[in-house]
Amino acid sequence: MNAKELNQAIQSYVRTETFPVGVKIIKEEAALPARAKRPQRDLGYQITICQSVSFSRRYGWSIAMNGADLSCPIAQVAFGYEEQPAFYAEGNLACGMYTDTLEAGAKSELDVPKFSAEESGFYVSYPLERAEVDPDVVVIYGNAAQVMRLVAGMLYKRGGSIPSTFSARADCADIAIKPLQTGEPQVIVPCYGDRLFAQTQDHEMAFSFHFRDATELVEGLAGTQKGGVRYPIPSFLRYQAEFPPTYQKLAGLFGEGK
């Protein structure tokens, strides 16, 4: 299964409001997609990783970026573009905003998935329907019911549950780095920055997974749909409505002359 076939299946079974997005880490600049926009060069400013995904899922743009294009200091560390200084590791960025103490902040920063310099490369995001190459990771934004649908599809053959962690921070790392490092799909609660900078809405969640699981997901979506789990969620309508007393009295009058 290629990226475009996966996109068609997602649109058929899940019907997302925005484009499903592929994410690929590309080592060499010469290998970047020819039509990909470089934020600093083509937009004239740096952006966040979450903005890159949002450009892809809302505008249909392909974005290719590295540290020179990236405005978010946390993502500079997470994606291996900068060394982790003591100031960061000590918890100074989290303390006072997300945590009560430096110690708690340090735990939060330690928990952020990170690429080594060797794993790092150009972060490329693009809508699956325009994919020129297959992605490393796929991320799909949707409402809670659509994410539930994706979870059900992924578990159709493997059973059990999907392990995910939530911190309200750095969801860009959870979306791309964690599936690559753990091999496990992730349910994503969008972080504060994703909402603030990338315009992710209150009703939205996300689901990301390693592209190698694409066939399994699509077969699971087909199997669960056949079993009755589908989107839009069908309403249960097989019941008789109840009416207020005056309506019931009128209904009784209809039968008096018969």
CA dist 234 and 131 (Å) reads 32
> Is the per-residue pLDDT at 243 higher than 80?
yes
CA dist 158 and 152 (Å) reads 10
Q: Where are the domains of the chain?
A: 3-235
Q: Confidence class of residue 255 from pLDDT cuts 50, 70 and 90?
A: confident
Q: Give the torsion through C-alpha atoms of 124, 130, 136, 141, to 10 deg.
A: 90
Kindly report the pTM of this predicted structure.
0.93
Q: What average pLDDT score do residues 134-157 get?
A: 98
CA dist 58 and 248 (Å) reads 51
Share of the chain above pLDDT 90, in %: 97
**Interstrand relation of 122-127 and 21-26 (parallel, antiparallel or unpaired):** antiparallel
- pLDDT tens per residue across span 56-71: 999 999 999 999 999 9
Name the packing angle between helices 3-13 and 214-227 (round to 10°): 20
- pLDDT tens per residue across span 18-46: 999 999 999 999 999 999 999 999 999 99
Q: Confidence class of residue 258 from pLDDT cuts 50, 70 and 90?
A: low
> Taking a C-beta distance cutoff of 8 angstroms, is the pair 136, 174 a contact?
no
Q: Confidence class of residue 256 from pLDDT cuts 50, 70 and 90?
A: confident
> Is the per-residue pLDDT at 150 higher than 90?
yes
> Backbone dihedral region of 119: left (phi > 0), alpha (psi from -120 to 50 degrees) or beta?
alpha
Q: What average pLDDT score do residues 220-244 get?
A: 95
Tokens of 177: 């780095």
What does the mean pLDDT of the chain come to?
A: 96
CA dist 110 and 107 (Å) reads 5
- pLDDT tens per residue across span 163-199: 999 999 999 999 999 999 999 999 999 999 999 999 9
DSSP class of residue 96?
Answer: T
Q: Strands of 21-26's sheet, edge to edge?
A: 63-65, 122-127, 21-26, 137-142, 205-210, 186-188
- pLDDT tens per residue across span 106-127: 999 999 999 999 999 999 999 9
> Is the per-residue pLDDT at 257 higher than 90?
no
